[in-house]
Amino acid sequence: MSLVEIGRICVKTHGREAGKKCVVVERVDKNFVLVTGPQEVTGIRRRRSNVDHLNPTTKKVDIKAGAEDSDIVKAIKSGKLTPFMKEGSLE
């Protein structure tokens, strides 16, 4: 299986959100995953993304499949990953 797994932090490589980091929330099928920034952290809202448009990083947060954005924000903060998530974003 690929590195694009639940909780993996990835960098979007295509589209208007290119260069921003997101968290994989759920696997839709072999080509698509559900990702979120969350919006309050990186500006990426929850949406479906092609796995070919994601570049996985070595970092991962501990979340369950389909986790709420509030739980993901808590996991990012508890892992002290907020500065990492915001760096490289185009805001």
Ordered domains of the chain (ranges, CATH): 8-86 (2.30.30.30)
2 pLDDT more than 70: no
pLDDT for the residue 88: 72
- Entry pTM: 0.91
Cβ-count burial 21-30 (b if 16+ within 10 Å, e if not)? bbbbbbbeee
pLDDT for the residue 1: 46
Alpha-carbon span 81 to 13, nearest angstrom: 20
Residue 84 phi, psi (nearest 5): -65, -40
90 pLDDT more than 70: no
11 pLDDT more than 50: yes
Torsion 80-67-64-29 (CA) sign? negative
pLDDT tens per residue, range 19-51: 999 999 999 999 999 999 999 999 999 999 999
pLDDT for the residue 29: 93
β-strand partners of 21? 11
